[in-house]
Amino acid sequence: MYALGQVLKVQYTGFKHYGIYIGNNKVIHNSKKYLKVEEIELEAFADNRQISLSKIKSDTPLIAVQSAKKYLDLPYNLFSENCEHFVRTACGLVKESTQVQKYLISALGIGALLTSNNTIVKSAGGAATIAAMLTPTEESPVKNAAVAACLFAGITYLASK
C-alpha cells in the first residue's frame, strides 16, 4: 500500500491527476469534476486507471496530510488551484502547475511560430515550445523554454548577418 503523505498520480489523456494519500484507503485531491478539494476512496481516485507515485513529495509527509485536510472544500481553478497546485502547496513546495506551464508556453510558442513575420521570433517560439514539451514530467519548463528561446533567437539573428 502507500505511505501517509505520498503524492499519487493517475494518467489521463493529456494530463496527470494528483492526490495525497491520507491512510485508510483515502486520498485528498482537488477535483475538477466536483470543483473542490475533497476526500475520496482510493478506488474512486484511481478511476479504473493505474495509480503511480509522483516525484512530488514532502519532506514532512505527516504535515502534508494535516495540511491537505485544511484545504478540504477549497474551490478548483485550472490556472490557480488545480490538483497539482494543491499537492505542491500541501507538501510545502512552491505552488505551481508544471502541466499548465507546459501547455501555456507551448501555445504561446506555437502562436509566435505561426503568426510572426519575424524569423527571430519564429525561431524563439519554436524553440520555447520544443524545450517546454521535452522538460521532464513534474519539472518546471520555464527555465528550459527561456534558455532555448534566447539561444535560438541569438543563433537566428547571427545567421541573418
**HEC profile of the chain:** CCCCCCEEEEEECCEEEEEEEEECCEEEEEECCCCEEEEEEHHHHHCCCCEEECCCCCCCHHHHHHHHHHCCCCECECCCECHHHHHHHHCCCCCCCHHHHHHHHHHHHHHHHHHCCCHHHHHHHHHHHHHHHHCCCCCCCHHHHHHHHHHHHHHHHHHCC
Instruction: Average the pLDDT over 34-54 and give the result.
Output: 97
The pLDDT assigned to 148 comes to 96
Does residue 1 surpass a pLDDT of 90? no
The pLDDT assigned to 115 comes to 96
Instruction: Average the pLDDT over 17-28 and give the result.
Output: 98
Q: Which domains does the chain have, with CATH numbers?
A: 7-93 (3.90.1720.10), 99-159 (no CATH)
Say what percent of the chain tops pLDDT 90: 97
Instruction: Average the pLDDT over 135-155 and give the result.
Output: 95
Does residue 161 surpass a pLDDT of 90? no
Tell me the whole-structure pTM to 2 decimals.
0.88
Q: List pLDDT tens digits, range 64-86.
A: 999 999 999 999 999 999 999 99
The pLDDT assigned to 88 comes to 97
Does residue 96 surpass a pLDDT of 90? yes
The pLDDT assigned to 141 comes to 96
Instruction: Average the pLDDT over 2-26 and give the result.
Output: 97
Say what percent of the chain tops pLDDT 70: 100
